[in-house]
Amino acid sequence: MNGSPTALQWATLGIAGFGVLLAAMSLTWQAVTFRLTGSRVVAHLRVGVLTGAFGGQGIVSFQAKDDWEQQLVALQQEHGGTPILILTASNIGRLAVAMQDAQAKSDTKFGFSRAGWALNPATGASLDAGHQASWYVTLEELQRMLDVDAQVRPQNNRPIKCWMELSLGDTTTVRTRETFHITPRPQ
C-alpha cells in the first residue's frame, strides 16, 4: 500500500460527512420548530348567561358576532341569569404557560377585570399544551363603566369597540380575535 486513501475510504468519509451534515440540519430544525411552537395561546370571545339551571351554576353561550345583543336578549329570556363575557384561551403550542389575569377592554382605554371571581382560574394558573381555560366578566359591570365614562367624557357617547385580553406569565398579552360594540347609556 502506498498510503493514499482508497475509493472505499473516500466513500466512507463522504457518507460520514453527509451524516454529520444531516444530523446538524435535523438538530437545527428541531430547535427552530420547538421555539416556534413553544406556548402559543389563542383567545376567542363568547357572550352568554350565567344561570342557576343545571342543578347549580350553568353557562349558556355563543360566539360573539354582530347580532350578539339580540341573541343575548333571546338567551336571557329563555334561560334567565346574568349576562357575561367569556374569554376562552387555548394553548396550541408545546409548553405550558401561566395565566395572570383577563380583562374586558375598550377603545376608550378602559379595562375591567374579575380576577378574584370564583369562576375564573387562579392567578398564575398553568395552561398546559392542548388545553383550554375560560375567564368570565359580567357584562353589566362593563356596561356601567362605559356609561359613567360617557357621562364624564361626552365624546365617548357612541358605540364603543370592546374585546378581551389575557395577560400571561411571560409578560405577553393575548387579545381575542373577536370584538363587539357596546352603546353607553348616559343618565
Residue 150 in any domain: the answer is yes
Residues 152 and 177 occupy one common structural domain: yes
Residues 24 and 109 occupy one common structural domain: no
Domain ranges, residue 16: 10-38
Residues 66 and 93 occupy one common structural domain: yes
CA 4, CA 12: separation in Å to the nearest integer?
A: 14
Q: Among all chains, which residue has been given the C-alpha cell 398564575?
A: 124
**Kind and range of the H or E run holding 22:** helix 7-36
CA 107, CA 69: separation in Å to the nearest integer?
A: 19
Residues 48 and 31 occupy one common structural domain: no
**Kind and range of the H or E run holding 141:** helix 139-152
- Band of pLDDT at residue 13, cut at 50, 70 and 90: very high
Residues 50 and 25 occupy one common structural domain: no
Stretch 50-75: mean pLDDT, rounded?
A: 77
Residue 187 in any domain: the answer is no
CB 108 within 8 A of CB 156: yes
Residues 26 and 84 occupy one common structural domain: no
Q: What is the pLDDT of residues 140-177, one digit of tens each?
A: 888 888 888 888 887 777 888 899 999 998 888 999 98
pTM value > 0.85: no
Stretch 63-87: mean pLDDT, rounded?
A: 84
CATH number of the domain at 152, please: 2.60.40
Residues 96 and 169 occupy one common structural domain: yes
Among candidate residues 114, 137, 134, 112, the one with its CA nearest the CA of residue 125:
134
Reduced to 3 states, what is the DSSP secondary structure of residue 171?
coil
Predicted confidence (pLDDT) at residue 1 exceeds the cutoff of 70: no
